[in-house]
A and B are shown apart, each in its own frame.
Chain A
Amino acid sequence: MGASEGQKRVLLQGNEAIVQGALAAGCRFFAGYPITPASEISEVLSVRLPQVGGTFIQMEDEIASMGAIIGASLAGVKSMTATSGPGFSLIQENLGYACIAEVPCVVVNVMRGGPSTGLPTSVAQGDVQMARWGTHGDHPIIVLSVSSVSECFSVTIKAFNLSEKFRVPVIILSDEVVAHTRESVILPQQSEIQVFDRITPSVPPEWYKPYADNNRGVPDMSAVGDGYRHHVTGLVHDERGFPTQQPKEVEQFLNRLHSKITKGFNEIVVTKSFEMEDAEICVIAYGSVARSAMRAVRDARAQGIKAGMVQLVTLFPFPRKVVDSALRQCKTVVVPEMNMGQISREIHRVNQAGTRIIKHNRIDGHLITPNEILKYLLKV
């Protein structure tokens, strides 16, 4: 019974799969405020977390939710919150705190139509650049995206692992279509899942410097209450965790914050290629649109067009190597997005080969259809 349970075929919604992924990755604390189309994540976790000895708190708003998960993570518990556009705006304030204090945590943003309260029940991808640059200051951050129920599960695990390993907040960008789509999936057993836990100090408490650099560029992290002194501040701090304005210390610290992500680039960046071997034209897509793109590529191939697709799972740090090689390989690249072109501008930035980049933007609250993309593939 126990052995076969993990292999059972189940019907899950994207939001439910994010919950399963979080629990499998070891998440034991969630603080949030329900909002369409992310509410199911709170709803299901409010039942599941207490069953596994975890804690669920419904907070007064998203500023407090972010504060709560930072606190829980500092106490050594893997933590997550989930929200949508309006709540994601409020998250930004404390998100910067998590960046500078290097607090591992996962923030799920199920994108809906904006700006403001916008289109609460409709799909959009309008928060891509906000996920990268929403909180102030020059900060490092990791942004992942999901396009299916099974990815909701696997990418959430990846998000926790990266967050723990690099001590950085990780944002998962989902969207209304992925969140509410139900699919039959076979989830892997817990024993097949790789879980990374943050590295804790091995030195005695009196030797511990909470922000001391090491060969990984990621300081060992003690949990509050473990007997290690752990001063935490949003001010730029020295290796003991106390505020400093010494230019040398400031520069060293901020450079380390950025370089730990740069050094980890190959591990952080995930992309998927489909029919790219001999592709002459390709689609670069992410989120639910990647599925429309895959269909369009299949339909184009059926008509003899050498089309391919690159799906971006990691959005930031931007997968420039893969995008660069797609741009060099193909004469034309189509970038369909449910925003005004938030990733196509990144692709333009990487484009060294003078490749033609066609934007396709839809902002009416509906998923881009395969035919909208196919139209471009057939024209070339």
Chain B
Amino acid sequence: MKNNMRYEIRFSGSGGQGIITAAVVLAEAIGALDGRNVCQTQSYGPEARGGKSKAELVVSNGPIDYPKALQVDLLLAMTQAACDAYFFDLKSDGLLIVDSGLVEQVPTSRAVSIPFTQIARQQIGRELVANMVALGAVGYLCGQVSMENLEKALLARVPKGTEEMNAKALRAGIAAAMAIDLSALPRSIVSDWESEL
């Protein structure tokens, strides 16, 4: 990655799904442990539950000027409403990742659907950790963070006593993502043409 290049990740869902926590863990792993520049922001309403929730990460090897996303490289949508609201500025060759149980209408064929909430319920026994399952998948598919540091950051940020459950959820998410073949996804003609120059 060139010094001034940005890689932008947006987590979205509804308030209470742990969207911001997932973004903070990823930021901690990339920024504090991997030692790269990262800027993490969020927007939220005054309510504690419900409503749209959004958190963003800008990753760069150089200094980061504008702290929020300009053109998103990877969008995670944990609800249909969030997917509809935040899909618009995903790059044409960007990657959309959705919770297949909660997002039924996927707006692009360049998308990865993984049943995060179902995995959390069936494999971990708690829907609560769907955010960490999703974080595992996002972390693996974005290619911007070491898996080892991601788990380290997670263990440092989650409440005491829940470390094992959250780490298990993260690993389940990574495993689900490893089964995905990104090269099988359709790609933008524009970016192919650009990369040949």
List the interface of chain A (C-beta within 8 A of B): 9-11, 36, 120-121, 148, 177, 180-184, 288, 291-292, 294-295, 298, 367, 369-370
Contacts and interface: CB of A to CB of B under 8 A. Distances in A.
Contacts of A177: 41, 67-68
Nearest to B40: A182
B99 interface: no
Interface string B15-51: 0000000001001101110011111111111100000
A11 B66 contact: no
A114 B179 CA distance: 49
A183 B39 contact: yes
A367 B38 contact: no
B80 to A, nearest CB: 24
Contact of A184 (B37, B46, B66): B37
25 contacts: A9-B31, A9-B32, A11-B24, A11-B27, A11-B28, A11-B31, A11-B38, A121-B43, A121-B44, A177-B68, A181-B39, A181-B40, A181-B41, A181-B67, A182-B31, A183-B31, A183-B39, A183-B40, A183-B67, A184-B31, A184-B38, A288-B67, A291-B67, A292-B65, A295-B70
A46 B28 CA distance: 23
Contact of A183 (B38, B46, B68): B38
A9 B39 CA distance: 13
Contacts of A120: 46
A294 B66 CA distance: 8
Contacts of A181: 39-41, 67
Contacts of B39: 181-183
Interface in B66-85: 66-68, 70
B32 A11 contact: yes
Nearest to A297: B65
Contacts of B38: 11, 182-184
A9, A177, A369, A370: most-surrounded residue (chain B CB, <10 A): A9
Contact of A10 (B24, B32, B36, B66): B32
A160 to B, nearest CB: 26
Nearest to B42: A180
A184 B67 contact: no
A121 B47 CA distance: 10
A184 B32 contact: yes
A217 B173 CA distance: 65
Interface of B: 4, 24, 27-28, 30-32, 35-46, 64-68, 70
Contacts of B70: 295, 369-370
B14 to A, nearest CB: 16
A288 B64 CA distance: 12
Interface secondary structure of A, over-half rule: mixed
A182 B65 contact: no
A370 B45 CA distance: 24
A295 B43 CA distance: 21
B67 A298 contact: no
A180 B31 contact: no
Nearest to B29: A11
5 closest A-B pairs by beta carbon, nearest first, are: A184-B31, A295-B66, A182-B40, A294-B65, A295-B65
A182 B42 CA distance: 9
Nearest to A184: B31
A184 B27 CA distance: 8
Contacts of B46: 36, 120-121
B41 A180 contact: yes
Contacts of A291: 65-67
A180 B42 CA distance: 8
B40 to A, nearest CB: 4
A369 B66 contact: yes
Given A9-B35, A11-B28, A370 B41 contact: no
Contacts of B30: 184
Nearest to A36: B46
A183 B30 CA distance: 10
A146 B195 CA distance: 39
Contacts of A36: 46
Contacts of B65: 291-292, 294-295, 298, 370
Nearest to B35: A9
A181 B69 CA distance: 12
Contact of B24 (A182, A288, A370): A182
Contacts of A369: 66, 70
B27, B38, B40: most-surrounded residue (chain A CB, <10 A): B40
A171 to B, nearest CB: 23
Contacts of B64: 183
Nearest to A147: B67
A121, A184, A295, A298: most-surrounded residue (chain B CB, <10 A): A184
Contacts of B44: 121
A181 B20 CA distance: 12
A286 to B, nearest CB: 15
Contacts of B24: 11, 182
A36, A295, A369: most-surrounded residue (chain B CB, <10 A): A295
